[in-house]
Chains A and B, each alone.
Chain A
């Protein structure tokens, strides 16, 4: 038996060895860091190559690490490729994440992969036999490719060289989107069904980025396979992701719905077998916008290409269809070239029960409308009008004199909890007062996405506004793209001479460059205020930016007593941002489509600011024990635009009153008795507004302790709603599909109508490479 001294020595040595081994093991387990991949100068990332790469000479099925002298690292997540091992196309199994290296020396790479083309570059892996080899190859631009193989996550097609040729159809998995909405009063229940079909001869995973209205309360998710419908379950986002990845890896059909923005969602469908179809149905509730007698039902169809300033935390990157790279942070939307189109089309039908006489019905698209009595209508999208590249907007006008403020309630008897929605319309007898002098600051987005029709519309709108200024007003014109420019060093009086010069300045505005909107906001709100005039900031933009939170936070902090009136210019604008600017800026929002009359929209805008709003609005609940009321801060009540307030209550709802200030006078009016709507949708709508309010506070405070995030998560789970922290997942556990998990195919979408591809999508690539 060893003496105590010897024993302690051995313990000492053992402890040292254990400590040392632990440190070494920790170092080995550390995640590799990647540098950003940058294409060689002048070389654009080319379509991913589906042609199999031969294995390194002498090592069938494995890869050989290149010499350290020529190796560079990359941070891209690479979709699986193929390795030709001489006996056909194979894909190897994966057990651990490989460490990637990139070989830029074509000659050296050619020695390892004899079939590789000169001028290309290849990612090689240090994976061992039995581990999955992830390969990406960027080939020269004239690479011919098969377009019936999944390849490296994107589909290839022979692209027509002549612009005049008809668009080439690109096979992609999303075949059709069907939208059916039921509008009751001002609440709509919308069913969206996305039909995914695999046109290839291998399994695929389809990934699709799409928009929904920013205040949509998404609470249902069903995956349909043949005749079978599998209802998905809402879970915490990370948990849902784990379940989906698990199911995908094990070969089960599964689908996952993730929210990236309040108005941008991602749908993933795993293991779609060749020739098979999987449908995903999403249901949401939504309230219609109302203005001067017109209700608007909006269904967005495409996410516009976003500009993401350097340093954006969670960008939404616009990439060409064939670019299979994944951004290191945020997410990506792939776009079809103008010479391409997919088979994806859209069908829309809306059943309207307005509750009051519908006097007029209009839409952004050609529609077929069937009236059913005075208050009902059935509307469908007309054939030949089904390319999903602009928002569908259905507007109907109801008899104005019948619109009154109202209080709708719903009681959840199980939870013994009541929910209400209070709609406050401004009183009809609002006298017209002479408009007070204003300091009008026009801020125009002149970025690349505004090039063409949108900037032309914006110019026309500003001209119309300049024509309506009075001599007592002052004005300034600013424009922003990659930086900010302004017409004058300070706001000028609206004299004839100054206006003439300003018109010339506006005529010179074009659209190119990035979208540094934050700079534009700071410039518009940052200079000293005119004590004798209210500053009205008229913001004209398509909203195609990826840092909405930063923009809205800046407005929250610096708005002061100014007002922001946001104008969305284009056919598929970022309504989440534009509505947010109006909300934080205590103004209103208007939408100027490419076919609308800029003069009419501006005339209406000036009409609005000529009639004073009811300010300092407060609600007299008169015994109704209202809690958790949203919005917490009531906005001004503008003529023609109601305020919608939602909250919880207990007890019996009685009469509710509203009061506010109209200039120097105090005005008050009754809302009337509450009406039991028997609509569970009110509960979902309340929860959605609570989530929005919490998210707004997150933007302002940064949420250092994560308490707001936890509140959002808890509210979303309790009410079964999608949010930034919850996702829907559905798995068909009946059987595994054959073969390995499928290649990821990103569903490319058309750029919105009126937006130029070359100034938005390709520009994003340069932004990525320049970082």
Chain B
């Protein structure tokens, strides 16, 4: 049996009985158990973890662990995550009543993808892909509209490039403001009918808990 870790939580009650608990320091990891010979890429496992993750977020905000991290027992979890618990606790204490929302926006004019045959090494190609993604930009009027309508409803926000055809706004939102954010999203949809975008959430602490995004 192995345990697919879903998130880090402040309290045991935030996890049980929705998922299994793995104590780690003064925090608690949520996990789903699967047989050793079952691959993490199994579609049903993915869907199960996604469903459990959503239920956990209904209960309380948690630090999301990217899918793919599996452990055999609490000792292994502690050895691999022990150094992170102080930071996680600080995040959970600070954002207990907040969740993330995501606004994905199609870029105005997606840049052409670099041709891999034009590069002599894989590293150069990866760098070009990365740089290419950062050329994306959204309609300036829409961005102004988002800054005016959505950003004031957030406690933190971050514009991000993820690929060459879209940009994202990650937002940290108080739970009580979720409906206001959704309403603002609907108004944006009416005001900017020609701009394809997707407002999604709530999500656990993902972008704002990920060091790579800082």
Do A and B interact with each other, yes or no?
no
